[in-house]
A and B are shown apart, each in its own frame.
Chain A
Amino acid sequence: MSVLTLLGHLWRRHRLALLCLTAGGALFQWAITRVVPTGAQTGFVRQLFDMAPAPVRVLFGEEMVANLSARGFLGFGYVHPFALLILAAWGVRVATGALAGEVGRGTMDLVASRPVSRWAQVAAAAVAVLVGLAVMAAASWAGTAAGLRTRPLEGVVALDFAPVAAMALMLFACWGAVALLVSAVLRDGGAAISWCSGLMAVSYVLDYLGRVWTAIAFLRPLSLFRYYEPHRILRDGVAASDMTVLSAVGVVALVAAFVAFARRDL
């Protein structure tokens, strides 16, 4: 009952943002299908990539460079910083706003002084993060599917991108759980956003540096972005190990958020 009421409140507060982010993600993936080169053009682009410095090729994904194709370009749309930022923005916004944001604003007193368990507050935030991400991931895939329907590309099937979108959902659900944990222990929404953004940036840079600099490649597993590689998913399918790591980190962070929020002073 309380969870539903809290969810209704979160919906009212974030529905415009959800609408904008969802539309942005869908339009972006649709736009990618408009600019994907045809088979004849990919040969030329491959030559351009071959001339680019190694770090640049790594940034765009070795697999894509190695297997330059329309599929590869579409896969690039799922690791593009814009696509990642949209999903990250939702997770961080809702997770930090629901706990630390309410504490910092002073509105937590009104909620927590009512028969609403702290468990329900974390659960409502977690559900809102997850549902929003699912909607956005589905919309992104729908953008790809709609684009391919109006501009069919040889050898490219929209359904192949569903697992990629699902893994994007999983990655950012995991980040959402981390954001909830950060939010559960801090007293201010701004500080929680800063911490979450910082953690994500460090993780992203660590993954990138680990790929281009072999001396620190052993650190890559510490980055959550290591477990989300669209081109590998398109080539080999979803790796069970990646799913396992993201699930485990997400569950541990979520449980820690429940425990931390239940025990803290508000």
Chain B
Amino acid sequence: MPPVTAAISTEGLSKRFGAVRALEDLSLSVNRGEVFGFLGPNGAGKTTTIRLLLGLLAPSAGGATVLGRAVRLDGADWRGDVGYLPGEVAFWPQLSGRRTLDYLARLSRRRPVDRPDLLDRLGLGADILARQVRTYSDGMRQKLGIAQALQCRPSLALLDEPTKGLDPLVQQAFYGIVAGARERGTTVFVSSHVLVEVERLCDRVAMLRQGRLVFQGDVAEVRRAQLRRVAVAFAADVDVQALAHFGEMVGAAPREITMLVAQKDLPALVARLGMLPLADLVVEAPSLEEAFLERYR
């Protein structure tokens, strides 16, 4: 049984399309109220996972619970509490933006309490909403997609590549929207391959590669688990090979070394360096991107 605090829980969730394994044995848990990043390159299975969580696809094996209810193809009622932004959002071209939002809110059976705030933050004015969606740019469609997903204040928001096509200013607005949603208790599940975005938004993160989960944990934990890049300059020649056992030496000269060192070994290294004629010391924490790429190598 998944913990009662889990907004999403999957157990051995798998999906095959013919011979293609889109998702393999995914066991994942997303806590209520957290912002969860779902990382992976194109084709890793992120969109398939979200579509399985919504009951748009039937799993080949395993199962999932969303907001405490087992996901089924035709189990419809719980979806009123879920907001969804598809990765390739599409609308009815002849409908205006406002009619689109009205129609989707009616289908959600909830009042669009957050719509005015969202439209304001996203810069979707009344004049834009009065136009047919077919006249919208890609960015405007994406903004409308974000608005429709969050307008009814869902308990869980599943956002597939939410900042795709947004300019940097609107991306900032989106980050604010997610922060606001979290403050109101909404669980946000963000699929992305934009690592900086995930690093900024998310409490926890899962990484997917070729349909398999390769990591699940705190963003901080990902970084912590990574090697630090340590650059040291000495005031005099030293035997740099005597430091090699602290980590991986990636550059060495009599007065200068660059090493990759595990976080746990840093205190010992710093203590040892203190006994040497130290001129400069730089310790760089890895970005999530470096951590991510390291796991994908």
Residues of B within 8 A of A113 (CB): 54, 56, 79, 82, 84, 86
Q: Is the CB of A9 within 8 A of B90?
A: no
Residues of B within 8 A of A114 (CB): 76, 79-80, 104, 107-109
Asked if A116 lies at the interface with its beta carbon under 8 angstroms from chain B, I say yes
Residues of A within 8 A of B77 (CB): 115
Main secondary structure of the interface of A (DSSP, over half): helix
A63 to chain B, nearest CB (A): 44
Asked if A236 lies at the interface with its beta carbon under 8 angstroms from chain B, I say no
Could you tell me how many residues of chain A have their Cβ less than 8 Å away from some Cβ of chain B? 26
Distance between Cα atoms of A120 and B148 in the complex (Å): 21
Residues of A within 8 A of B86 (CB): 106, 109-110, 113
Given the contacts A110-B86, A114-B104, A13 and B94 also touching, CB distance less than 8 Å: yes
Given the contacts A5-B107, A107-B92, A115 and B56 also touching, CB distance less than 8 Å: no
Asked if B296 lies at the interface with its beta carbon under 8 angstroms from chain A, I say no
Q: Which of A12, A106, A117 contacts B90 (CB 8 A)?
A: A106
* Closest A residue by C-beta to B95: A12
Q: Is the CB of B109 within 8 A of A266?
A: no
Chain A, 1-30, contact with B by CB distance < 8 Å: what is the 0/1 string?
A: 110011001001100000000000000000
* Closest B residue by C-beta to A6: B107
Distance between Cα atoms of A3 and B38 in the complex (Å): 34
Q: Is the CB of A265 within 8 A of B57?
A: yes
Asked if A135 lies at the interface with its beta carbon under 8 angstroms from chain B, I say no
Considering only residues 91-125 of chain B, those with a C-beta below 8 Å from chain A are 91-92, 94-95, 99, 103-104, 106-109
Q: Is the CB of B88 within 8 A of A115?
A: no
Distance between Cα atoms of A119 and B106 in the complex (Å): 18
Q: Is the CB of A117 within 8 A of B74?
A: yes
Residues of A within 8 A of B56 (CB): 109, 112-113, 265-266
Which of A13, A107, A263 is most buried by chain B, counting CB atoms within 10 A of its CB? A107
* Closest A residue by C-beta to B75: A117
Asked if A111 lies at the interface with its beta carbon under 8 angstroms from chain B, I say yes
Main secondary structure of the interface of B (DSSP, over half): loop
Q: Is the CB of A116 within 8 A of B76?
A: yes
Q: Which of B76, B90, B103 contacts A5 (CB 8 A)?
A: B103
Which of B57, B76, B78, B88 is most buried by chain A, counting CB atoms within 10 A of its CB? B76
Asked if A105 lies at the interface with its beta carbon under 8 angstroms from chain B, I say yes
A255 to chain B, nearest CB (A): 15
Given the contacts A110-B148, A112-B54, A262-B73, A5 and B82 also touching, CB distance less than 8 Å: no
B215 to chain A, nearest CB (A): 27
B191 to chain A, nearest CB (A): 14
* Closest A residue by C-beta to B88: A106
Q: Is the CB of B74 within 8 A of A262?
A: yes
Q: Is the CB of B73 within 8 A of A111?
A: no
Distance between Cα atoms of A6 and B92 in the complex (Å): 13
Asked if A226 lies at the interface with its beta carbon under 8 angstroms from chain B, I say no
Chain A, 238-266, contact with B by CB distance < 8 Å: what is the 0/1 string?
A: 00000000000000000000000011011
Asked if B70 lies at the interface with its beta carbon under 8 angstroms from chain A, I say no
B79 to chain A, nearest CB (A): 5
Distance between Cα atoms of A15 and B64 in the complex (Å): 41
* Closest A residue by C-beta to B160: A109
Distance between Cα atoms of A120 and B109 in the complex (Å): 14
Given the contacts A106-B90, A107-B90, A110-B86, A115 and B103 also touching, CB distance less than 8 Å: no
A6-B107, A112-B55, A263-B73 known; 4 other A-B pairs, CB under 8 Å? A106-B90, A110-B90, A112-B56, A115-B107
Sample of 23 A–B contacts (CB below 8 Å): A1-B109, A6-B107, A105-B90, A105-B92, A106-B89, A107-B92, A109-B51, A109-B56, A109-B86, A109-B90, A110-B86, A110-B91, A112-B55, A113-B54, A113-B56, A115-B78, A115-B80, A116-B79, A117-B76, A262-B74, A263-B73, A265-B58, A266-B56
Footprint of A on B, CB under 8 Å?
51, 54-58, 73-74, 76-80, 82, 84, 86, 88-92, 94-95, 99, 103-104, 106-109, 148
| 7 smallest beta-carbon distances between A and B, as pairs | A106-B90, A113-B84, A115-B80, A114-B107, A117-B76, A266-B56, A109-B86
